[in-house]
Amino acid sequence: MTGRPAEFPEGRLSVRGRLAHDKASRSAAGQDFGRVVRQEPWAVFRPESAEDVSALVRFAAAQRRAVAPRGRGHSTFGQAQAADGIVLDLSGLRAVHEVGPDFMDVDAGASWRSVVLATVPRGLTPPVLTDYLGLSVGGTLSVGGVGGATHRHGMQTDNVLRLDVVTGDGVARTCSAHTESTLFHAVLGGLGQCGVITRARLRLVPAPARVRRYKLYYATPRRLTADQRRLLASDRFPYLEGQLKPDASGWRPRLEAAAFFSPPELPLDESLLDDLGHERGSEEIEDLSYVDFVDRLTCSEADLRATGEWFHPHPWWNAFLPGSTVDDLVEEVAARVTPDDIGAGGALLLYPFTRRRLTTPIVRTPDDPVVFLFAILRTAPPDQPTAVEEIIRLNRALYEQVRAAGGTRYPVGTVPFDRADWVRHFGTAWPSLHEAKERYDPHHVLTPGQGIF
């Protein structure tokens, strides 16, 4: 390490006493939700302001020490870790600053749950929420952020008006699609490579009063995707997802959709479901408040924590598939990964999107008018590293299969990737990302866990 502290004296002085080197802090920051990779950092830093972030990054750049921003640590493959570096734990930087008529300003370490709780009482909501709200704003804006409304509104990164960012040289900058747009486009979905997001201005839309949630079951995955396409084309539901759940007979394909309404008006079930090809009589329909609907995974989290499964290894796999090849790919994967392999709590997610809604330049998605998120959510037995290694090998093989069929990786999961993979992954976006990296993080200190630079 070739430290040149004189280059950044200010930052060096202001953070030294605030680095946590204790075992408990380093151990927690050396772990993530995946429990597959464990790399303890040299220190943990918990900023209380963007100025703190700036000082820390200056200090780290002077020391040539890696810095990994960490939102909530829900990565599954060490993406927010920094072996022998500094983990910048943003969980304390979580204030909601302002909720305006159609926007909000929020710190990057805030969870999406706190965003919902600050906006819904004012009749507003972000247009796109992830299924699980315990993720941080900065964490999902660094990867994309997809959910049941992505088919209408794109990813969470497509709904950002402005960002405050500390770049790898420790400079605090504000950027948007109109000001410092190069930085804006390098940071949104940019996997933490060029800057640490400290605050975001998010677009808001009116929140619905009530939600009617539909679960419909299908005989085959092809019938499920046929209806998903039909619903995409008709834009009938504001929320649309799907999954294959394990049951005694194998995979059970399920479509999930939601209609928003304000009583006394009610959704007309018959006209919404009439032309669909699900198994008649299989419908599960329930009415919920909007908050209960968007925060529906809280109960599952509590259950999984109680059984201990939440703390098992999660070698998850995520990809975007072209609509033209999705059916064959899903069949092949469903044959290779059996319900027994992933267990009762696991699922294969299948979410359909209209590609023209996906506008974040650096988030790579297949060149097809219809794109599907396809994910394998599974746990591996604890204390059986060979089982995890085998799953990781399979994940890599599945990724190659998907790539050959025109798919791309959603880089939040557990797939080994080297530099050549990343260059191929970013494709035409690689030169601009590379240029932005050299400009904004010239010492390559930011976010080593992604393994890109």
Ligand X SMILES: Cc1cc2nc3c(=O)[nH]c(=O)nc-3n(C[C@H](O)[C@H](O)[C@H](O)COP(=O)(O)OP(=O)(O)OC[C@H]3O[C@@H](n4cnc5c(N)ncnc54)[C@H](O)[C@@H]3O)c2cc1C
- Joined tokens for residue 291: 């908050």
Residue 224 and residue 276: Cα distance in Å, rounded? Answer: 9
Q: Is 130 in the site for ligand X (CB under 6 A)?
A: yes
Q: Is 75 in the site for ligand X (CB under 6 A)?
A: yes
Cβ proximity of 377 and 337 under 8 Å = no
Q: Is 139 in the site for ligand X (CB under 6 A)?
A: yes
Least distance to ligand X from the beta carbon of 411, Å?
A: 9
Residue 91 and residue 69: Cα distance in Å, rounded? Answer: 10
Strand partners, 446: 67
- Joined tokens for residue 143: 């990867």
Q: Is 450 in the site for ligand X (CB under 6 A)?
A: yes
Least distance to ligand X from the beta carbon of 299, Å?
A: 13
Of residues 26-45, which lie at the interface with ligand X (CB under 6 A)?
32-33
Q: Is 136 in the site for ligand X (CB under 6 A)?
A: yes
- CA 17, 19, 20, 21 torsion: positive or negative? negative
Q: Mask: binding to ligand X, 78-117, rule CB under 6 A, as x and -?
A: -xx---------x-----------------x---------
Least distance to ligand X from the beta carbon of 128, Å?
A: 9
Whose Cβ is closer to ligand X: residue 70's or residue 201's?
Answer: 70
- Joined tokens for residue 208: 């619905």
Place of tokens 């070698």: 315
Cβ proximity of 120 and 206 under 8 Å = no
Q: Is 70 in the site for ligand X (CB under 6 A)?
A: yes
Whose Cβ is closer to ligand X: residue 267's or residue 449's?
Answer: 449
Least distance to ligand X from the beta carbon of 92, Å?
A: 12
341: enclosing H helix or E strand: helix 339-342
Place of tokens 């993080």: 441
Whose Cβ is closer to ligand X: residue 246's or residue 448's?
Answer: 448
Q: Which of 35, 46, 58, 72 binds ligand X (CB under 6 A)?
A: 72
Which amino acid, residue 204? L
Least distance to ligand X from the beta carbon of 191, Å?
A: 6
| Long-range contact pairs involving 323-326 (C-beta distance under 8 Å, separation at least 24) | 323/229, 323/352, 323/368, 323/369, 323/370, 323/371, 323/372, 324/368, 324/406, 325/405, 325/406, 325/407, 326/225, 326/350, 326/372, 326/374
Residue 451 and residue 453: Cα distance in Å, rounded? Answer: 6
Q: Is 358 in the site for ligand X (CB under 6 A)?
A: no
Binding range to ligand X, per CB under 6 A, among 132-140, 170-178, 329-337, 420-428: 132-140
Least distance to ligand X from the beta carbon of 335, Å?
A: 25
Whose Cβ is closer to ligand X: residue 227's or residue 241's?
Answer: 241
Q: Is 67 in the site for ligand X (CB under 6 A)?
A: no
Q: Is 191 in the site for ligand X (CB under 6 A)?
A: yes
Residue 396 and residue 72: Cα distance in Å, rounded? Answer: 25
Q: Which residues bind ligand X (CB under 6 A)?
A: 32-33, 68-75, 79-80, 90, 108, 130-132, 135-136, 138-140, 142-147, 191-192, 196-197, 412, 447, 449-450
